[in-house]
Amino acid sequence: MSERGTTATISIKNGRVSEAVIRAVADVAKSDPARITPLYDIIDPDALDRLFRPTPSVTRNVESSVCFTMAGCEVVVSDNRTVTATLLSQVEA
């Protein structure tokens, strides 16, 4: 994980994308993960995990990502299994 200012980026080698989203948002919001808005109130965590599950070596013609807001952060999940959370005040500046 790397952090710069009010942004956290997590590259997921193993594990669930949904869990990485919660960690990234909690890191940026400087909050306990249990105290932030539940992910399932924003997006279906199981669907997110299925969408970005690791696949055998597959060539993709189009890059994809999902973007949503959660707990005052913009969250971007990319098909390279990277989660980036940025405080909205930082995005708007």
Asked whether the predicted pLDDT for residue 37 surpasses 50, the reply is yes
For the stretch 13-33, pLDDT in tens is 888 999 999 999 999 999 999
Query: Which of 20, 32, 24, 31 shows the shortest CA–CA distance to 7?
Result: 24
Query: Three-class SS of residue 67?
Result: strand
Residue 22's Cβ-side half-sphere holds a number of Cα atoms within 13 Å equal to: 20
Q: Say whether pLDDT at 93 is over 70.
A: no
pLDDT of 19 reads: 95
- pLDDT reported for residue 2: 41
Strand partners, 9: 2, 84
Two structure tokens written together for 37: 């808005």
Range of the domain at 8: 2-55+63-92
- For residue 57, the model assigns a pLDDT of 64
pLDDT at 89: 74
Per the structure, how many domains does the chain have?
A: 1
pTM listed for this prediction? 0.83
Cβ atoms of 78 and 63 closer than 8 Å: yes
- What is d(CA 60, CA 17) in angstroms, rounded to the nearest whole number? 19
3-state secondary structure of 63: coil
- Give the pLDDT confidence of 62-87 residue by residue, as tens digits: 678 999 999 999 999 998 889 999 99
